[in-house]
Amino acid sequence: MKRLVVASIVAGLLLPVAAWAAIVVNQSIGGVALGMTQAQVRAKLGAPKKVTHTPPLGEQPAWTYFEYKSYFVSFACDPAHCTNQKLAPFVRSISTTAKSERTTHGIGVGSTLAQLKANEPRFKCQQAYDPVRIECNAPKPEGPITYFEVKKSLVTEIILSYAGEPR
């Protein structure tokens, strides 16, 4: 009986780790996943503080951007079906600068590069186009991918987007 109680307590302590992990690598940030609609994002994050639209241009899709205090969500439509009347229905990328958002391994904005490498070993880091920035990600040929941007050895932003074509 004593073992059952201890096991229950341990299980109860472990369960919240996954529950508070607002960053699910290559899947979602803050409960927002790639492919969600604008209505679904509003249901998760509330009303954005700013909304910006850009029309389709040539091969480029129409874009809509939702800006929140600690999140930036980009929506795009399939370039073959973009029109000025049909603007950006699905999430193409989401980023966060919220220090409260963490992976199941506890990595988030404010974590050090050393912590990221130690706790997320599948991530590969390389110098970005900007000489003061390093990008770390779990390499995938296509599909969703999570980037950890690092400046001065600290994670400054986490971005979830598609590698390759989204659909």
pLDDT tens for each residue of 71-108: 999 988 755 565 555 555 789 999 999 999 999 999 99
pLDDT tens for each residue of 40-78: 999 999 999 999 988 777 777 778 899 999 999 998 875
pLDDT of residue 156: 94
pLDDT tens for each residue of 105-124: 999 999 999 999 898 888 88
A 10 A CB-CB count for 135 gives 17
End-to-end CA distance of the chain: 52
Instruction: Tell me how many degrees the CA angle 88-92-98 measures, rounded to the nearest 5.
Output: 120
pLDDT tens for each residue of 119-155: 888 888 888 777 777 788 876 667 788 888 898 999 9
Question: What's the structural domain count of the chain?
Answer: 1
Q: How confident is the model at residue 19 (pLDDT cuts 50, 70, 90)?
A: very low
Closest CA to 157 of 71, 84, 85, 93: 71
pLDDT of residue 84: 53
Q: Which domain holds residue 145?
A: 2-163
A 10 A CB-CB count for 163 gives 15
Instruction: State the Cα torsion 80-85-90-91 to the nearest 10°.
Output: 110
State the CATH number of the domain containing residue 93: 2.60.460
pTM: 0.77
